[in-house]
Chains A and B, each alone.
Chain A
Amino acid sequence: MPYNVIALIKQIPDLELIKVNSSTSEPILEGVPFRFENLSKNAVETAVRIKEKYGGKVTAILYGSDRGTPVMKEAYAMGVDEGFIITGYQESNPRLTAQVLAGKIKQIPHDVVILGNQSADSMTGLLPGMISALLNEPLLSNAISVELNANSAKISSGMEKEVLELEGSMPVVISVAQEINEPRFPPVMQIIAAGRKKINIEPSSIKGNDSTKLLSRKAPKSDRKRVVFEDIDKGAQEVAKVIKEVAR
């Protein structure tokens, strides 16, 4: 049975490329490219695997900016059929993000909505619940495997201490955990084809009234001793001493 699946994608700055200004401790974001957020990739992979197994269509929605185009092309190369970029993303405003995404999702016929459980940059973990609430569709949370049967979805949910088998009626929202799959590296031909495919770009019509004020954004101070030995023997001796002292 074919399914209409929506995968939600976040674009994030390439975290490893962010340097910190040594005098102000503030991050330098200018010139840092955006990349595909880790768990969003797992979400797209999950959606594409559903299409491959059961048939149907995968639509991806990215709420970000038009700098998200390369990310959407990558999603196309992975197997997404149609993509929407909604521009006007406001950082640190999960309620607005959820509202914008839910608004778009409502316009698209769907059986399953898939997204990551926590994004790699802000880790808020709030989007799955908020979107489920706004759509009034059940949330199957933290999936490490997914199976669809007729009109319901079944997942294994990786909680802190247990694995739950959960079931919900479609349409359903599924958040995925990082261990659900290993996202594919698309073949070159698919990447080339993806480059030619149309991306729908729409500005967000919802304005957020965010009352959160950023007071400071600084790298935490590191007071490490930074004693580095290039002489292995001397280093091993010193390290053994430190371990002995603490273990005592």
Chain B
Amino acid sequence: MKFLVFSDNLDNGKQIMSYLNGKGEFVVYTPDDSKEYADYGASRVVYLKGEHQAKPISELIASEIKSNGFDFVFITSTVTGRDLAAFLSQAINADIIPEVFDVKLQDSKVSTKRYGLGGKVVLEEESNGKIFTVIPGISDAVPSGTSSQVETKEIQRGNVNILSVNPKKGREVDLEKASIIVSVGRGLGKKEGIAQIEPFVKLVKGELAGSRPVCLDYRWLSEDRQVGYSGRKVKPKIYIALGISGQIQHIAGMRDSKIVIAVNKDKAAPIFQEADYGIVGDLYQVVPKIMGYLS
């Protein structure tokens, strides 16, 4: 079987390449400049130069598919990746199965797993899908011990003008890699509460995160710290949920955490169903006590 990969997220791209390694020949297209792409078993890595735009990249990939005949296309689920998958699906007239985290290939049929109903369920489907957008977790990243052939290709200008590129503010936090996350919810009650929680975050050497209401509705934390189905999907060793009720939107972003600790005033809060250790109580009373026992 022949596969084509598009990745503009190195960590996820490594996982996809590791998953494909041994299943057949695969070629990787990436606008990133990391040399690491060549260490995961691809027969060829095509580094894309020029403006990072979904439509012209999809045209490049469509022409590669037409001339070299690929069976399946794997695309990292990113802003560009999802747009690219959509354009490509129209260009080569192929079905997409989106947001998959598990793929089994048998001849021309494919069975995949993805989340549905806002993360509440896993949909296991059998399809004629040829294109997949892939969320993190399809495989562990394992270098192949070989080196891929490398080339570069120029991306043509598309029908959108890029007027400027500015780094995003507040993107200093890498929640996906944090080993301890302290996450606050509506139960925090006030913006000043953040300052009261910060010493605890520091003490456990964790990263601070928040639920959707805290990051988007009240804006007590930046949107980059939002854990949830529509935010960051994290899997720390310990996830400490303070004043988070545990709506499915949130659970879907932290479900893969190793240990979950929850503090909530409401004994019936759904978060306790998703926690290993729960404390029923006011977070402003509980947190100082935990800190006391830690030091």
Contact = CB atoms under 8 A, between A and B. Distances in A.
Residue of A16, A163, A235 ringed by the most chain B CB atoms within 10 A: A235
A15 B44 CA distance: 43
Contacts of A139: 54-55, 83, 160
A127 interface: yes
Interface in A223-248: 224-230, 232-233, 235-244, 246-247
B216 interface: yes
Contacts of B86: 94, 98, 125-130, 132-133
A211 B229 CA distance: 27
A141 B82 CA distance: 10
The binding surface of chain A is classed by DSSP as: mixed
Contact of B280 (A118, A216, A228): A228
Interface stretch (A48-56, A80-88, A103-111, A152-160): A152-160
Contacts of A212: 95, 97, 125-129
B158 to A, nearest CB: 8
B195 interface: no
Nearest to A124: B98
Contact of B247 (A16, A178, A242): A16
Contacts of B248: 15-16, 18
A218 interface: yes
A214 B162 contact: no
Contact of A166 (B121, B161, B230): B161
A162 interface: yes
A202 interface: no
B48 interface: no
Interface in B241-278: 247-249, 255, 258-261, 267, 272-278
B83 A141 contact: yes
A130 to B, nearest CB: 4
A129 B125 CA distance: 23
A119 B122 CA distance: 16
Contacts of B267: 228, 230
Contact of A133 (B87, B123, B166): B87
A140 B281 CA distance: 46
Nearest to A168: B160
Contacts of B205: 247
Contacts of B259: 242, 246
Given A124-B98, A214-B125, A220-B122, A240 B79 contact: no
Given A167-B161, A218-B122, A130 B277 contact: no
Interface of A: 12-13, 15-16, 18, 20, 26-27, 38, 92, 94-95, 98, 117-118, 120-130, 132-134, 138-142, 154, 157-169, 178-179, 182, 211-220, 222, 224-230, 232-233, 235-244, 246-247
Given A123-B230, A124-B96, 6 more contacts: A13-B117, A27-B120, A92-B116, A154-B163, A222-B273, A244-B294
12 contacts: A26-B121, A27-B120, A94-B98, A126-B85, A129-B82, A129-B90, A130-B90, A164-B162, A224-B274, A235-B280, A239-B290, A242-B259
